[in-house]
Structure 1
Amino acid sequence: MRLRRSLITVAGAAVAALALSACAGPSSDSAEDTSAAGAAEGFPVTVDHAFGETVIEDAPERVATWGWGATEAAVAVGVYPVAIAEQVWTVGAGNYLPWVEAAYEEAGEELPTLISDPEGGATVPYEQFIEAEPDLILAPYSGLTEEQYDTLSEIAPVVAYPEAPWTTPWDQTIRITAEALGRADDGEGVLQGITDGLAEQAAEHPEFAGTTFAGVWDGDGFVYVYTAADSRIEVLTELGLEVAPSVSELDTSDGGFFYELSYEQLDRLEADVIVSYHNTKEEAEAFLAKPELQAIPAVAAGRVAQVYDPVTVSSVSPPTALSFDWEGGLPTLVEAIAGAVQQ
């Protein structure tokens, strides 16, 4: 399990992580129409990020993505990447995230090249980026190190995260991607649609207002607790939920998106509801029955909303521009939380 988005390793570390896109195939006329023509105004574009600033002189025609969410954000504003990071933990090597594949097929676009990423961003296959011949690499929600950023920048301009690895808010991932593509207005339109949808769900669940929660993934002798800096947690606050004060009180991550909490301290993780993420249904059921986890007050009281299986976990860890409405994803999690609140 991958930890960055999902919880732990991203290869088992959490689910939540990578998914992508940017400008159709090199021989596709429609690719030029959607990626260049519609985004020609407003260049050059300068994007500030954790490693400095990146200047994009002209509308990119061959976009590559790395990390999580940038592919979907690009597609949502009309740009189809030619190369994207594979999501091994989620769908296995050589496969596409279902919402990404569906978007390309519906648009009649050639599916992008998959860039190998078996370690959830720990290593970068520079040769594959070179072969893809990108004129822009988008990685606003990723784990790039400065060394990786510098090396990739020798291939093409790179847009990294604004502050820290794997902590870019879901809406900022969309906004940064749209800005880099010269489609800031389109990006705001996408965000408005998502925000309206979240507001509708919040209105349907007034019981969420003021309800505290904590997101966790069970480890071995400890649980991983997601901090408020994690996008999968932040998006739930859009529904009226509040991150439990105990999450920050116990936080040892020093600004990270998760931390380990030993079983001996579980009784201190006080929250109205626990949201737990799992690889399988069997693991989810085992979580509820595990004696040690009964020390968490909400678990003992049966107030637990669960998400399991790699694809479903990834769809909400965090949601992307294309997965907010994905069947079985966030809407199902919302209903699970509603059920837990009523316990």
Structure 2
Amino acid sequence: MSRTLRPAVLLAAAAVTALTLSACSSGTTPEADASAPAASDGFPVTFEHIYGETVLDTAPERVATWGWGAADAVLSLGIVPVAISSMDYGGGEDRIAPWVSDAIDDLGGEPPVILDSATYELSVEELLATDPDVLIASYSGLTQEEYDAVTAAGIPVLAPEKALWSTPWRDVITDAGTALGLEDKAQTVLADLDQTIADAAAEHPEFEGTSIAYAADDVDTFYLYLPADPRVEILEDLGFVSAPAVTALDTGESTFYTTVSSENLDQIDAEVVFTQTETEDALQTFLTSDRTKLIPAVAKGAVGAIVGEENVAAITPTALSVDFILPSMVEQLAKATAVAEG
């Protein structure tokens, strides 16, 4: 599967990381400490995940993150992580998503080390060099081997809840809040995000109940994203419903996407199709090719699209990316829904 179609990345899969901090530096900064509430006394806390159970006896100070959205969650709570995974799709030359970079600048202090995630493999050596108190990897592809290596070094790990790359994006935020003793602040972050999304949905009642398919065409492979994907989840939060074909065509090859053969594209019965492309040329190919026009909504022109690596990366919701991309998404969805209704 190409990098442009993974969820942390978008998808898929993506995330962020960097440079060496001195072993004596703190994971929080004076600026971050001033803005973050004091840790609660609600410890120890226990997290259940795919590799077992993790117990935190006290609130960690030096926080490392891995995967997608964890760095955003920690930053939204007023803490600058000591390490984050690299954003190799949409992150620019510094390999940091713009919304993450802005949050780091706002909080000030030492920038995080960027852990190379170009191959989605965690370098335990790089991680341990940052001297973390915890690794938050709630939405990631963290393997059992990586988990075992980090925990063997005495670092507690928050691994994905039930499957790799499938933890709901809201849970990533609440997990971070619980791990850091900042549950109330995490709930405030979520409430603000939910209100932003609810306001957008209220402004567009036509979204309610409209069937949608999130699709992407990557040269020889056509992808449909499943309801477990956070990008589909936010579409449903806006009022859309996943078209029956999305799950009917699911081959079980992944937790967040399925591939569809050309002969089955006409079975995608969504009223609206939402897609992502890196360039305007690629979007025009999607809209006009004989292959994609087998999909009824594409043939009708009921397509909403997000274009450009940075924007595509932002579609996967996090504590910080929602505000960055939601206005553009809503604008495109409104145009596509109008065509569908017409």
Confirm or deny: 8 A CA contact 2:33 2:79 kept in the other structure. Answer: no
How far, CA to CA, are the matches of 1:169 and 1:20 in structure 2?
Answer: 22
Return the match for 1:338 from 314, 317, 334. Answer: 334
Q: Kindly, what percent of the aligned residue pairs are identical?
A: 39
Give the Cα separation in 2 of the matches to 1:62 and 1:216.
39
1:211-290 equivalence runs, <5 A: 211-253=210-252, 256-290=255-289
Structure 1: 4+ residue segments shifted above 6 A: none
Unmatched segments (≥5 aa) in structure 1: none
1:306 aligned to 2:305? yes
**1:86: which partner in 2?**
86
For residue 95 of structure 1, what is the aligned residue in structure 2?
A: 95
Which one-letter code corresponds to 2:53 in the other structure?
E
2:14 to 14, 17, 27: 17
Query: Where in structure 2 are the equivalents of 1:197-212 lying within 5 Å?
Result: 197-212=196-211
Find out whether 1:113 has 2:152 as its counterpart. no
AA paired with 1:158? V
Q: Displacement of 1:94 after TM fit? A: 3.4
Q: Hey, what's the Cα distance between the residues in 2 that align with 1:51 and 1:236? A: 30
Quote the residue 1:142 is aligned against: 140
* Superposed CA offset, 1:10-36 (max 9, x none): 67x735632589xx9815751783699
Report the number of matched residues: 333
Q: Which residue identity is paired with 2:302?
A: R
- Indicate the residue corresponding to 1:53 in structure 2: 53
Distance across 1 between alignment mates of 2:8 and 2:51? 23
> Where does residue 188 of structure 1 map in the other structure?
187
Question: Unaligned 5+ residue runs, structure 2?
Answer: none
| Partner deviation per Cα, 1:300-338 (whole Å, 9 max, x = no partner) | 00001111211101111x121011111xx1210111010
The separation in 2 between residues aligned to 1:79 and 1:109, in whole angstroms, is 10
Give secondary structure in 2 for the equivalent of 1:149: helix
TM-score (normalizing by structure 2): 0.91
TM-aligned CA deviation for residue 2 of structure 1: 5.0
Query: Equivalent residue for 2:72?
Result: 72
Q: Following the alignment from structure 1 to structure 2, what is the Cα–Cα distance between the partners of residues 257 and 307?
A: 19
User: Match for residue 160 of structure 2?
Assistant: 161
Is residue 70–residue 177 contact of structure 1 (8 Å, CA) maintained in 2?
Answer: yes
Q: How many Å separate the matches in 1 of 2:29 and 2:69? A: 25
Structure-1 residue corresponding to 2:5: 7
Output the CA distance in 2 between the equivalents of 1:10 and 1:255: 14
Within 2, Cα distance between the matches of 1:260 and 1:88?
Answer: 23
Check whether the contact 1:63–1:83 (CA below 8 A) recurs between aligned residues.
yes
1:162-208 deviation line (CA, Å, top 9, x unaligned): 11111111111111111111111111111111111111101100000
Distance (Å, rounded) in 1 between the aligned partners of 2:48 and 2:179: 10
CA contact (8 A) 1:16 1:232 kept: no
Contact 1:67–1:140 (Cα < 8 Å) also in 2: yes
Question: Paired residue for 1:179?
Answer: 178
Mapped partners of 1:48, 1:176: distance in 2? 11
Alignment of 1:316-331 (within 5 A): 316=315, 318-326=316-324, 329-331=325-327
2:6, 2:14 within 8 Å by CA — same for their partners in 1? Answer: no
Q: Which residue of 2 aligns with 1:133?
A: 131
User: Is 204-213 or 81-90 further displaced after alignment?
Assistant: 81-90
- Give the Cα separation in 1 of the matches to 2:239 and 2:258: 24
Cα separation, 2, equivalents of 1:29 and 1:320: 22
